[in-house]
């Protein structure tokens, strides 16, 4: 591990009230005809942050990025970069560069010319361009391909050229539109870590648009989960995963079990939710849960225990069911347990020992249980 | 189908364009080439020798011996022909450039138009073909003549006092050619521009390139295949164009198509007009073949 890791862990300017955001979207709305792509959205991104916009297609994440790049103009609202309102700045004068989803490499130019294109536009002297291009080629390990044309490169190589081209001008902010979408799985995983290293080494602000939650979780300092033109939650990957603020986010990121019920009591830092005759959930209170009325309890599969023996306090955070389905993945096993209420619960168990003898099998009766602090209470 | 007959079928399909070219291009070409080596005669057909199967081998070789390059030598001796070639190439070149200048913005606008109206625009470009070419050229006479619509209009709005003399000049020929051949320029340009990834222009802008510069450094170079195709599609038929210079041009408008027509119909000199046609073909085909060869080589690299 790099020593930079420790610096990174303490990087959380969003918790520091004195930190000034580097990029601010202020009540930004974008309409295309009747369709509202981005709806009164406000968002702050900090300097040197690796920020991910995550959402399904059509949620407005790409439009947001394109507005930052200047390809779309907000219908209303302001975009501020480093204290400067960008609304009157055309794309070719913005200190941001974008890596396009299609890479948008100029097919009639060599790799070298592609990377040097932006520098040439700035009127940089030829020898300096050559120097910087060589630097960039080294950075993305494409020194040998300098004089090739884009169509003579593989997908992964093209992706690196696109990256080198967008970094060549040393922009304040690098925008990445689905940067790894066209790569195969293995290459994608490798590139994720390369991008993270690059971002740290160069000390740039990265804003990445992706629909791949794994990609966002791996790379980003913070993630904004978007839906229907709005930001649903902005938080670190761990917060998004462990403390989703809504059913939508809980459901969108990873696997989740959701129990619907009614709040019975809410006192002493605990919320009790009556789910069914044989199950009452006692959960630690959190910001997003209601104090009364309908509520939902969301819990991740890996936090659900299954066992043959009855737990100490049956009925509270523990319920009986039978094994409905088993998915053996090698490193872990996923059990689908059907409760008496008809609901199925997904539990995953790390295969820490080899348990080849007497494993939990189909149709077996088991107890499903979890801890008070294992899940979150959500509004309905 | 068995494998064998499948292979046969594939070959047959490939053979069709070759057969077509042999029947409708190579055979006529050799007939014209043969006539160009003959001598004029007051006969039917109006040239000598005439090959006939009844002559036998001996007659065939005698006839071959009568063929000569006289007509080609004749073409070099009279400046009329060389001037007609040069003038044809010049007029064709200028009018092709004008067509490109007008066709490019049209094609560009079409390619950038909303997808829903593009088929309509395409239809509008092709629409003039639904009227006979000849009628459309005649219509230009009515527009361009001294008392025609154009002069009436310009006089009415007070830009000119005396009618402009456009008809029977080279300007009228340019107008006629540009008008008639515009679709042949617009269509190949449109098809290359339409295929172009718009994000390339955005990428250029993103990297600090203002729109106009982005056009010249990205859009235009990438549309060159369309420019070349359009240029050839207009230039080649224009060099030999006969109807437009004949109807719209004046007596001073010298074009090879008209010269050829005069030789063929007025002078009934088939051998010379055949030679004129052969030279025209060589003038056009050889440079284009060399150019295409170079392009194919460049594409391979």
Confirm whether A118 is domain-assigned: no
How do A222-227 and A50-54 pair as beta strands? parallel
CATH topology of domain B69-300: MetI-like fold (1.10.3720)
- A205 and A310 in a single domain? The answer is no
Number of folded domains in chain A? 2
Contact A106/B197, CB-based, under 8 Å?
no
Backbone angles phi, psi at A262, to 5 degrees: -125, 140
What is the CATH classification number for the domain harbouring A26? 3.40.50.300
**Residue B202 has what pLDDT?**
94
Collect all residues of chain B within an 8 Å Cβ-Cβ radius of residue A122: 208
Confirm whether A229 is domain-assigned: yes
Measure in Å the smallest separation between the Cα of B205 and chain A Cα atoms: 5
**CB nearest A91 (choices: B197, B206, B218):** B206
**Residue A105 has what pLDDT?**
95
**Residue A2 has what pLDDT?**
43
- A34 and A176 in a single domain? The answer is yes
Give me the residues of chain A with pLDDT under 50, please: 1-6
Collect all residues of chain B within an 8 Å Cβ-Cβ radius of residue A121: 207-209, 213
Q: Check if A97 contacts B (Cβ < 8 Å).
A: yes
What is the CATH classification number for the domain harbouring A300? 2.40.50.140
Contact B205/A104, CB-based, under 8 Å?
no
- A57 and A206 in a single domain? The answer is yes
Interface test with A, best of B206, B217, B295, B298 (most A CBs within 10 A): B206
- A359 and A343 in a single domain? The answer is yes
Confirm whether A101 is domain-assigned: no
Interface test with B, best of A98, A104, A161 (most B CBs within 10 A): A104
**Residue A6 has what pLDDT?**
46
Q: Using CA atoms, how far apart are residues A145 and A151, in angstroms rounded to an integer?
A: 12
Every domain of chain B and the residues it spans: 69-300
- A265 and A349 in a single domain? The answer is yes
- A309 and A216 in a single domain? The answer is no
Q: Which residue of A has its CA nearest to B213?
A: A121
Backbone angles phi, psi at A168, to 5 degrees: -60, -35
Q: Which residue of B has its CA nearest to A109?
A: B218
3-state secondary structure chain A: CCCHHHHHHCCCHHHCCCCCCCEEEEEEEEEECCEEEEEEEEEEECCCCEEEEECCCCCCHHHHHHHHHCCCCCCEEEEEECCEECCCCCHHHCCEEEECCCCCCCCCCCHHHHHHHHHHHCCCCHHHHHHHHHHHHHHCCCHHHCCCCHHHCCHHHHHHHHHHHHHCCCCCEEEEECCCCCCCHHHHHHHHHHHHHHHHHHCCEEEEEECCHHHHHHHCCEEEEEECCEEEEEECHHHHHHCCCCHHHHHHCCCCEEEEEEEEEEECCEEEEEEECCEEEEEECCCCCCCCEEEEEEECHHHCEEECCCCCCCCECEEEEEEEEEEECCCEEEEEEEECCCCEEEEEEECCCCCCCCCCCCCCEEEEECCCCCEEEEEC
Q: Using CA atoms, how far apart are residues B230 and B223, in angstroms rounded to an integer?
A: 11
User: Domain range for residue A263?
Assistant: 255-379
- A287 and A230 in a single domain? The answer is no
Collect all residues of chain A within an 8 Å Cβ-Cβ radius of residue B209: 92, 117, 121
**Residue B226 has what pLDDT?**
92
**Residue B109 has what pLDDT?**
95
- pLDDT tens-digit profile of A192-238? 888 888 888 888 999 999 998 888 999 999 999 999 999 999 999 99
Contact B209/A117, CB-based, under 8 Å?
yes
Collect all residues of chain A within an 8 Å Cβ-Cβ radius of residue B200: 104, 106
- A187 and A332 in a single domain? The answer is no
Give me the residues of chain B with pLDDT under 70, please: 1-2, 301
Q: Check if A121 contacts B (Cβ < 8 Å).
A: yes
- A207 and A84 in a single domain? The answer is yes
- Among A247, A269, A297, the domain-final residue is A247
- A372 and A354 in a single domain? The answer is yes
Collect all residues of chain A within an 8 Å Cβ-Cβ radius of residue B218: 106
- pLDDT tens-digit profile of A239-283? 999 888 888 999 898 889 999 988 888 877 888 888 888 888 888
Measure in Å the smallest separation between the Cα of A44 and chain B Cα atoms: 22
Confirm whether A332 is domain-assigned: yes
CB A356 within 8 A of CB A288: no
Contact B206/A69, CB-based, under 8 Å?
yes
- pLDDT tens-digit profile of B132-187? 999 999 999 999 999 999 999 999 998 888 888 889 999 999 999 999 999 999 99
Confirm whether A100 is domain-assigned: no
With residue B48 as reference, give the H or E element that holds it.
strand B47-48
Residues from B contacting A (CB-CB < 8 Å) are 197, 199-200, 202-211, 213, 218, 221-222
Measure in Å the smallest separation between the Cα of A148 and chain B Cα atoms: 11
Q: Which residue of B has its CA nearest to A152?
A: B301
| Residue A18 in tokens | 């004195």
The A residues from 158 to 177 touching B (CB cutoff 8 Å) are: 165-166, 169
**CB nearest A121 (choices: B208, B211, B222):** B208
- Among A221, A247, A273, the domain-final residue is A247
Collect all residues of chain B within an 8 Å Cβ-Cβ radius of residue A32: none
Collect all residues of chain B within an 8 Å Cβ-Cβ radius of residue A94: 206
Contact B203/A98, CB-based, under 8 Å?
yes
- A331 and A370 in a single domain? The answer is yes
- A202 and A338 in a single domain? The answer is no
Q: Which residue of B has its CA nearest to A92?
A: B208
CA angle A283, A289, A295 (to 5 degrees): 85
């Amino acid at each position: 591990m790099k020593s930079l890791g420790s610096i990174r862990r303490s990087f959380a300017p969003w918790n520091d009230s004195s930190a000034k955001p580097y990029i601010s979207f202020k009540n930004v709305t974008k309409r295309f005809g009747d369709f509202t792509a981005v709806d009164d959205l406000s968002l702050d991104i900090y300097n040197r942050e690796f920020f991910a916009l995550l959402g399904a297609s059509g949620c407005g994440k790409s439009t947001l990025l394109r507005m930052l790049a200047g390809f779309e103009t907000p219908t209303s609202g302001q975009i501020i970069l480093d204290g400067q309102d960008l609304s009157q700045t055309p794309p070719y004068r913005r200190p941001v560069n974008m890596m396009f989803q299609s890479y948008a490499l100029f097919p009639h130019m060599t790799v070298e010319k592609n990377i040097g294109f932006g520098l040439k536009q700035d009127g940089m002297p030829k020898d300096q361009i050559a120097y910087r291009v060589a630097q960039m080629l080294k950075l993305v390990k494409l020194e040998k391909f300098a004089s090739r044309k884009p169509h003579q490169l593989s997908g992964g190589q093209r992706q690196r050229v696109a990256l080198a081209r967008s970094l060549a001008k040393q922009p304040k902010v690098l925008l990445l539109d689905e940067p790894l979408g066209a790569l195969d799985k293995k290459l994608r995983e490798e590139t994720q870590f390369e991008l993270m290293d690059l971002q740290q080494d160069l000390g740039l602000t990265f804003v990445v648009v992706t629909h791949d939650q794994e990609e966002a979780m791996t790379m980003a300092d913070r993630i904004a989960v978007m839906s229907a033109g709005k930001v649903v939650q902005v938080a670190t990957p761990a917060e998004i995963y462990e403390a989703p603020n809504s059913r939508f986010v809980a459901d969108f990121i990873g696997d989740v079990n959701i129990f619907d019920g009614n709040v019975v009591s809410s006192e002493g830092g605990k919320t009790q939710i009556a789910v069914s005759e044989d199950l009452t959930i006692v959960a630690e209170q959190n910001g997003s849960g209601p104090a009364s009325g309908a509520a939902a309890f969301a819990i991740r599969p890996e936090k659900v225990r299954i066992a043959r023996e009855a737990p100490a306090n049956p009925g509270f955070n523990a319920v009986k069911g039978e094994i409905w389905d088993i998915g053996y993945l090698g490193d872990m096993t996923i059990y689908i347990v059907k409760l008496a209420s008809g609901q199925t619960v997904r539990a995953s168990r790390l295969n820490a020992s080899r348990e080849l003898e007497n494993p939990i099998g189909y149709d077996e009766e088991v107890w499903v249980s979890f801890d008070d602090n294992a899940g979150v209470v959500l509004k309905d | 189908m068995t494998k064998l007959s499948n292979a046969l079928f594939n070959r047959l399909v490939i053979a069709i364009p070759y057969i077509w070219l042999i029947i409708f291009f190579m055979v006529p070409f050799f007939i014209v080439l043969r006539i160009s080596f003959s001598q004029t005669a007051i006969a039917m057909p109006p040239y000598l020798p005439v090959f006939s199967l009844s002559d036998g081998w001996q007659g065939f070789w005698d006839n071959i011996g009568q063929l000569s390059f006289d007509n080609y030598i004749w073409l070099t001796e009279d400046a009329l022909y060389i001037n007609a070639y040069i003038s044809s190439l010049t007029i064709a070149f200028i009018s092709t450039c004008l067509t490109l200048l007008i066709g490019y913005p049209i094609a560009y606008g079409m390619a950038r138009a909303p997808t829903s109206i593009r088929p309509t625009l395409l239809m509008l470009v092709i629409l003039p073909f639904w009227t006979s070419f000849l009628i459309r050229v005649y219509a230009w006479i009515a527009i361009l003549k001294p008392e025609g619509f154009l002069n009436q209009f310009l006089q009415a709005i007070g830009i000119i006092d005396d009618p402009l003399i456009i008809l029977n000049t080279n300007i009228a020929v340019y107008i006629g050619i540009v008008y008639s051949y515009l679709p042949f320029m617009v269509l190949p340009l449109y098809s290359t521009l339409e295929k172009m990834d718009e994000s390339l222009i955005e990428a250029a802008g993103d990297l600090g390139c203002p729109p106009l510069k982005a056009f010249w450094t990205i859009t235009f170079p990438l549309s060159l295949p369309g420019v070349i195709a359009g240029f050839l599609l207009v230039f080649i038929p224009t060099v030999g164009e006969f109807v437009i210079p004949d109807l719209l041009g004046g007596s001073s408008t010298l074009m090879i198509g008209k010269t050829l027509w005069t030789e063929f119909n007025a002078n009934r000199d088939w051998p010379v007009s055949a030679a004129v046609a052969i030279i025209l073909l060589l003038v056009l085909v050889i440079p284009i073949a060399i150019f295409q060869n170079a392009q194919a080589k460049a594409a391979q690299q």
